[in-house]
Amino acid sequence: MPLQIYDTMQRQKVPFVPRTEGEVAMYVCGPTVYDVPHLGHGRTALTFDMIRRYLTWTGLTVTVASNVTDIDDKIIARAGQEGRTEPDVAAEFTAKYDEQMARLAILPADSRPHATQFVDGMVEIISQLVDLGAAYEVEGKGVYFAVEGLKEYGRLAGRTLNQLRDDAGQRVDVDADKRSPLDFALWKSAKPGEPSWSTPWGAGRPGWHTECVAMSLSALGPGFDFHGGGDDLCFPHHQNEWAQVVAMGEQFARYWVHSAMVNVAGEKMSKSLGNFTNLAEAIDTAGPRALRLLALQTHYRRAMEMGRDALMAAAAAVDRLDAFHRRMVTASVDLASGEVNDTALDAFCSAMDDDFGTPSALDGAFGLIRGANIDLDNGDLSAAGVGGRTAITMFSVLGIDIGSGTKTTEVGPSDQEIEDLLEQRAQARAAKDFAAADSVRDQLTASGIIIEDTANGVVWHRA
């Protein structure tokens, strides 16, 4: 079955046909850098990193562009509150965002446009829209896009113009000087003390929606394959990007892919609800691989439940995977090369080709791990190797490296300390000093380390 993708614009799964055979061009909306990244940023980044990794593994050449919005109302507000410059605020929180993405092993984008580097292109787009009659100037306020002239406006949001008018005021700025409450700013006239650029409409700065149009088309060209982001961006941001490009008569993204939100205790995570948890805290608590596993256990289009219990359960699962890896190494099973289970890999691909069905794909991988453990118990190292290599391949495709030695929690002894204690225990048992051996076991148990004596040696994992 060819790859099927749920396209938000069409509201259904559709076959993926790339713009250029063998290649994929993907634009993922990046951060507005005025604060530290939160769990929602992590979930979105992990989703599109998973998509990129899988498509690359299937043999496609994937090019990813992901922007940085470094000029915005919130950046200006924070700079004003703290007596700093906007570039200083943007630089600080870009670095903090990048730090957490690196911890999550998010592959760097091939193109990383910053909004302030593309203002000339934004001015050209706005000028073209004004010339076409798709946009108009409001003296002293800026330039607005005229939504009423675009019959299909609202299509990406799954709403009609009338429905959106009824909801005006909830998601858009209402201004009596606008022709319609749905009209959105392409260019904002400068206020005293704000960053500004000179244009035919006076000094000012670009609107958010125009920024991404200029950056995505510059990086990837018209008709690129994927436009992605969190589903909170579907309206108005992505809808308004699409409106501008359509009004210019150009082709924009061929497929729109949106990841769902993160829930904490059943509620959407947001600062206004008081349940905002930053990404660094989650990674510190459970480790980056656990957070990736937890994200992949929920389909990317379903809301993801996040809490300490869920995080720690994922951390324990990663520890068990590492324990399996150690058990295979102890048994001298070759995990780097050898036969794999082609039927299982086909099932993995079928799950992923069905709109990136990571929950089913992970079920198959964990099933192989369970089977390989049984094979080890039975002394069938050949069968264990086939299952283990296949499972490790699947996890690797999804960005989870088993046996990497990365601690999943900040609590307890390090891997090397555990190995040293196990060596002391082995020496005590060899000397028939069973009291000393039991003391080492008790010490490890108290630290949350479970050890198992098997026919192939000692294996351990964190409880």
Region of 356 on the Ramachandran plot (φ > 0 left; ψ -120 to 50 alpha; else beta): left
Q: How confident is the model over 345-363, as a mean pLDDT?
A: 98
Q: Most confidently modeled of 5-14, 330-339, 426-435? A: 5-14
Lowest mean pLDDT among 6-10, 384-388, 452-456: 452-456
Predicted pLDDT of residue 21:
97
Predicted pLDDT of residue 162:
83
95 burial class (0-12, 13-18, 19+ CB within 10 angstroms)?
A: exposed
Sorted by where each begins, the domain ranges of the chain are 4-259, 267-397, 415-462
Q: How confident is the model over 93-120, as a mean pLDDT?
A: 96
Q: Which of 294, 227, 249 is nearest to 48 (CA)?
A: 227
Predicted pLDDT of residue 271:
55
Q: Which of 272, 320, 288 is nearest to 409 (CA)?
A: 288
Cα gap 107→110, rounded to integer Å: 9
Predicted pLDDT of residue 441:
84
Predicted pLDDT of residue 443:
80
Query: Quick one: three-class SS letters along the chain?
Result: CCCEEEECCCCEEEECCCCCCCEEEEEECCCECCCCCEHHHHHHHHHHHHHHHHHHHCCCEEEEEECEECCCHHHHHHHHHHCCCHHHHHHHHHHHHHHHHHHCCCCCCCECCEHHHCHHHHHHHHHHHHHCCCEEEECCCEEEECHHHCCCCCCCCCCCHHHHHHHCCCCCCCCCCCCCCCCEEEEEECCCCCCCECCCCCCEEECHHHHHHHHHHHHHCCCCCEEEEEHHHHHHHHHHHHHHHHHCCCCCCCEEEEECCEEECCEECCCCCCCCCEHHHHHHHHCHHHHHHHHHCCCCCCCEECCHHHHHHHHHHHHHHHHHHHHHHHCCCCCCCCCCCHHHHHHHHHHHHECCCHHHHHHHHHHHHHHHHHHHHCCCHHHHHHHHHHHHHHHHHCCCCCCCCCCCCCCCCCHHHHHHHHHHHHHHHHCCCHHHHHHHHHHHHHCCEEEEEECCEEEEEEC
Instruction: Determine what percent of the chain is predicted with pLDDT higher than 90.
Output: 74
Q: Most confidently modeled of 192-196, 223-227, 336-340? A: 223-227
- Identify whether 359 is preceded by a cis peptide bond (ω within 30 of 0): no
Q: Has residue 407 got a pLDDT over 50?
A: no
At 197-209, the pLDDT tens digits run 999 999 999 999 9
Region of 4 on the Ramachandran plot (φ > 0 left; ψ -120 to 50 alpha; else beta): beta
At 298-333, the pLDDT tens digits run 999 999 988 888 888 999 999 999 999 999 999 999
Paired residues of 262 in beta bridges: 304
In contact, 431 and 408? CB cutoff 8 Å: no
Lowest mean pLDDT among 96-100, 347-351, 409-413: 409-413
Predicted pLDDT of residue 226:
97
Lowest mean pLDDT among 106-110, 274-278, 337-341: 274-278
Q: How confident is the model over 43-63, as a mean pLDDT?
A: 98
**pLDDT grade, residue 169 (50/70/90)?**
low
At 421-456, the pLDDT tens digits run 888 888 888 888 878 888 888 788 777 787 877 666
Task: Record the tokens describing residue 173, joined without a space.
Answer: 């700025």
At 238-274, the pLDDT tens digits run 999 999 999 999 999 999 999 999 987 666 665 556 5
Predicted pLDDT of residue 410:
42
More confident residue, 181 or 174: 181
Q: How confident is the model over 3-12, as a mean pLDDT?
A: 97
Cα gap 318→408, rounded to integer Å: 7
**pLDDT grade, residue 405 (50/70/90)?**
low
CATH classification number, 4-259, choose in 3.40.50.300, 3.40.50.620, 3.10.20.30, 3.40.630.10: 3.40.50.620
The mean pLDDT of the chain is 91
In contact, 436 and 426? CB cutoff 8 Å: no
Cα gap 76→70, rounded to integer Å: 10
Task: Record the tokens describing residue 459, joined without a space.
Answer: 């294996």
pTM as predicted: 0.86
* CA 122 to the chain's CA centroid: 27
| Residue 272 neighbours by CB under 8 Å, 6+ apart | none
Paired residues of 197 in beta bridges: 204
Cα gap 235→115, rounded to integer Å: 20
Instruction: Determine what percent of the chain is predicted with pLDDT higher than 70.
Output: 92
Of the CA atoms within 13 Å of residue 54, those in its CB half-sphere come to 24
Predicted pLDDT of residue 436:
83
CATH classification number, 267-397, choose in 1.20.120.640, 1.20.1050.10, 1.10.645.10, 3.10.105.10: 1.20.120.640
Q: Has residue 102 got a pLDDT over 80?
A: yes
